[in-house]
A and B are shown apart, each in its own frame.
Chain A
Amino acid sequence: NAGVTQTPKFQVLKTGQSMTLQCAQDMNHNSMYWYRQDPGMGLRLIYYSASEGTTDKGEVPNGYNVSRLNKREFSLRLESAAPSQTSVYFCASSEVGQGGEKLFFGSGTQLSVL
């Protein structure tokens, strides 16, 4: 099992360009998430999808759109990139067990917007 796979690992954009970050999980999880992490800071939730066909805004959704393509895939789109969106982006999926919800993260995409 690969777990949560994110592509690309690195990306440099110019202000105003658009791009889509891809995320796929092979753990058959219902819920998927997108976070961003700025240097020295904690993770902030951008969007999440509790199940296939649903998406909800997190703490910092402005400037982003998401698509839950199917149960496995959850993409994040920047329509017009801005320097403030320079960050590391993490995708996660979650498993719900007896003790609660556990998040499983991908290795991240480092995005620089010039």
Chain B
Amino acid sequence: LAKTTQPISMDSYEGQEVNITCSHNNIATNDYITWYQQFPSQGPRFIIQGYKTKVTNEVASLFIPADRKSSTLSLPRVSLSDTAVYYCLVGDMDTGRRALTFGSGTRLQVQP
């Protein structure tokens, strides 16, 4: 499985854009990238998923460069409620490289 590396923690202020980068140097051709968000005392929640280039939904954007060795989760105009731990997972169900291993994640602290 592709090993992922994320910063342990990040700090931001309300209203700023936050970019969290995940490194996955040994990503395989068929692997996709998935990000989850976890609030204290809750299970992780799916945020966004992508394979290449850019994906955007109502809460975030995911940027994946051409070599796919990294990906960046972008949270526009964060608020206090975005304080959480963010996990990056890489894998592909069809090839058995399932994206089921959660690392330590990135702990985002948003301040007023």
A contact set with B: CB distance below 8 Å: 4, 33, 35, 41-45, 48, 58-59, 88, 90, 92, 96, 99-108
Tell me the total A-B contact number using a CB cutoff of 8 A.
57
Interface of A, secondary structure class, is strand
B13 beta carbon closer than 8 Å to chain A: no
Known contacts A42-B102, A45-B100; is-contact A102 B43 (Cβ 8 Å): no
Partner of A99, one of B51, B87, B100, B102: B51
Known contacts A42-B102, A58-B100, A103-B36; is-contact A96 B42 (Cβ 8 Å): no
Task: Please indicate the chain B residues that have their CB under 8 angstroms from the CB of A99 in the complex.
Answer: 32, 49-51
Task: Please indicate the chain A residues that have their CB under 8 angstroms from the CB of B81 in the complex.
Answer: none
Known contacts A41-B104, A59-B101, A108-B41; is-contact A102 B93 (Cβ 8 Å): no
B92 beta carbon closer than 8 Å to chain A: yes
B103 beta carbon closer than 8 Å to chain A: yes
**In the complex, which of the residues A33, A42, A104 has the most CB atoms of chain B within 10 Å of its own CB atom?**
A42
Residue of B with least CB distance to A3: B43
Q: In the complex the two chains form, is A96's CB within 8 Å of B93's CB?
A: yes
Query: Smallest CB–CB gap between A76 and chain B, Å?
Result: 14
Pairs across A and B, CB under 8 Å, 24 listed? A4-B43, A33-B100, A35-B102, A41-B104, A42-B105, A45-B100, A48-B100, A58-B100, A90-B43, A99-B50, A100-B49, A100-B51, A100-B91, A100-B92, A100-B93, A100-B99, A101-B34, A101-B91, A101-B98, A102-B46, A103-B44, A103-B100, A107-B43, A108-B42
